[in-house]
């Protein structure tokens, strides 16, 4: 078995519109590409433990999505809606993976990858999703209320104040206590890449606008129609203590809309690819992505 290379290459990928996507890349360039997309408020280092294991067989390209990590932020007036990320990844693949590729996405990254597979199936040969099965939704009745809240946030009634921390330990503690709490292992992998030095010590490198509520949420029929449009084989890894299990009612009925779906429940939280059985997950994903 080849020796693992735990040190990724740092790569920057310019896109036609001027956006710069940064990435961590593991594996031989002669191996088939595997594009990895992280979750909301995470970054490319989300795959620091899993990617070296997958790199025995693939060139793993773990991107920082716009506004995260070392990728550029949207320009003034820009927004971080999910459809925009789908465009970003389509542009990236058009420029750097024109023959298509296997894609692995966690949380937000899985949502983006699934929508790309639905609307441009020629780009995604196989899709792996980690604790991810489509976006949050709204109802037609709630649409104007949700839109009103999102507009109010953007016209300045609640400006974001970016916190500063005296130490890395303070920043780690703040991120571990978020909406989807991180274990010590997950926080240690993800947080440093999202920080930059400031006068007080440390502050977030991520764009504060990432925390704005969405200007447009999908409806459940739109989500299930998109899932039904996915043509490639799909492997869904559900964390035993993850979001899909804890919010089963919310995701109920979505699985049945994906034609070629295999679902496996694995140990760990929503970030099971960092705090679960990493070697077992790597074996599952390797078998899935190499099954022709």
Distance between CA 155 and CA 91 in Å, rounded?
30
What confidence tens digit (pLDDT) does each residue in 254-289 have?
Answer: 999 999 999 999 999 999 999 999 999 999 999 999
Positions marked catalytic: 107
Q: Is the pLDDT of residue 157 over 60?
A: no
**pLDDT value, residue 158:** 58
CA dist 29 and 126 (Å) reads: 19
Residues of the chain above pLDDT 70, percent: 96
Strand partners, 219: 138
Delineate the domains of the chain, giving CATH numbers in brackets.
Answer: 9-138+217-289 (3.40.50.1820)
| φ, ψ for residue 102, nearest 5 deg | -75, 145
Helix ranges (H only) for the chain are 51-54, 82-96, 108-119, 143-154, 168-176, 184-190, 220-228, 243-246, 248-251, 272-275, 278-289
Closest among 123, 127, 126 to 96, alpha carbons compared: 123
What strands, in cross-sheet order, belong to the sheet with 33-37?
Answer: 9-14, 20-26, 59-63, 33-37, 101-106, 124-130, 234-241, 261-269
Q: Does pLDDT of 240 surpass 60?
A: yes
pLDDT at 2 over 70: no
And the tokens for 133?
């099965």
pLDDT tens digits for range 39-94: 999 999 999 999 999 999 999 999 999 999 999 999 998 999 999 999 999 999 99
Closest CA to 189 of 14, 46, 24, 31: 46
- Assess whether pLDDT exceeds 80 at residue 1: no
**Are the C-beta atoms of 33 and 96 separated by less than 8 Å?**
no
Distance separating alpha carbons of residues 267 and 164, to the nearest angstrom: 34
Q: What is the pLDDT of residues 182-227, one digit of tens each?
A: 899 999 999 999 999 998 899 999 999 999 989 989 999 999 999 9
């Amino acid at each position: 078995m080849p020796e693992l290379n735990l040190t990724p290459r740092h790569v920057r990928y310019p896109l036609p519109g001027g956006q710069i996507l940064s990435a961590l890349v593991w594996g031989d360039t002669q191996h088939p590409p595997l594009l990895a997309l992280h979750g909301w408020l995470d970054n490319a280092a989300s795959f620091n433990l899993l990617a070296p294991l997958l790199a025995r067989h693939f060139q793993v390209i773990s991107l920082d999505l716009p506004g995260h990590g070392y990728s550029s932020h949207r320009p003034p007036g820009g927004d971080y809606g999910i459809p925009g990320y789908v465009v970003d990844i389509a542009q990236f693949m058009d420029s750097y993976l024109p023959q298509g590729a296997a894609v692995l996405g966690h949380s937000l990254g899985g949502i983006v990858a699934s929508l790309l597979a639905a609307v441009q199936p020629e780009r995604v040969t196989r899709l792996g999703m980690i604790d991810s099965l489509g976006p949050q939704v709204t109802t037609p009745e709630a649409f104007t209320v949700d839109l009103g809240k999102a507009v109010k946030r953007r016209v300045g009634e609640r400006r974001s104040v970016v916190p500063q921390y005296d130490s890395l330990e303070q920043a780690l503690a703040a991120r571990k206590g978020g909406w989807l709490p991180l274990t010590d292992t997950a926080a240690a992998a993800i947080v440093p890449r999202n920080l930059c030095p400031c006068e007080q010590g440390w502050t977030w490198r991520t764009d504060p606008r990432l925390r704005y509520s969405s200007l447009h949420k999908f409806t459940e029929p739109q989500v299930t129609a998109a899932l039904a449009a996915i043509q490639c084989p799909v492997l869904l890894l559900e964390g035993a203590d993850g979001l899909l299990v804890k919010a089963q009612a919310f995701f109920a009925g979505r699985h049945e809309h994906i034609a070629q779906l295999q679902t496996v429940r694995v140990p760990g939280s929503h970030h099971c690819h960092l705090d679960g059985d990493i070697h077992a997950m790597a074996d599952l994903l390797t078998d899935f992505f190499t099954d022709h």
